[in-house]
Amino acid sequence: MKKTIIISLLMLAAVASPAQTCPDSNHPHAIDLGLPSGTKWACCNMGASSPEDYGSLFAFGEMEEKEIYDYRTYYLRNVRFQYETIVDRSDVAYVKWGQEWHIPSPDQFNELKDNCTSEWKVVKGVNGRVFKGKNGNSVFLPAAGKAIAINNESKNKLGNYWTNREHWESDKAFYFFFSNSSTGQFDGLKFLGLSIRPIKRK
């Protein structure tokens, strides 16, 4: 009798408590972090098969990973996006994952940073940051580094994630950065290979 009661209480707690991780292995999942806007964050990077997988690296606005990331191989070097923003058919998340998914804006990264606790962690041997919402749900962003030409010297040391916004200097765009000690937003050359973590807007 006592054993039955304990099992029932554990099952009830599991139902009442929000999930900390993905409910199953059918990625990607849209994780509700309890953000003010209702924005949900994908459980993994584009090109990844799990939350701790680095996934693919993309030049700004491009649709495919490649071997060399430099000015010569950047197909969009003479392109300016309408309203300086990647949307819809120029958004790799929208194109590859479906119309509900998008590359986050700078404001959406700020919302993530300002409304979640952030902690540097090692998940299955991969360094990165866990962003945990006030509702208890969390997402892990692996430190996939930054590709320059054929090199990625910051892999497993730094996280660099494109936003959807161009810089006012035509050869740059804004990205979200983190290390084991800090987070922030910077601008970088568009031909660099960075990670993408899609979002679903409410």
pLDDT at 195: 98
Query: Which pLDDT tens digit goes with each residue over 11-52?
Result: 333 333 334 568 888 889 999 999 999 999 999 999 999 999
Conformational region of residue 156, where left means phi above 0, alpha means psi within -120 to 50, and beta covers everything else: left
Burial of 53 by CB count in 10 Å (0-12 exposed, 13-18 middle, 19+ buried)?
A: middle
CA-to-CA distance for 50 and 63, rounded, in angstroms?
20
More confident residue, 91 or 12: 91
pLDDT at 9: 36
Residues 55-70, mean pLDDT to the nearest whole number: 97
Query: Which pLDDT tens digit goes with each residue over 111-127?
Result: 999 999 999 999 999 99
The phi, psi pair for 109, rounded to 5°, reads: -65, -40
pLDDT at 21: 67
CB 97 within 8 A of CB 28: yes
β pairing state of 159-166 and 172-178: antiparallel
CA-to-CA distance for 10 and 168, rounded, in angstroms?
54
Q: Would the pLDDT of 5 be above 60? A: no
CA-to-CA distance for 69 and 74, rounded, in angstroms?
7
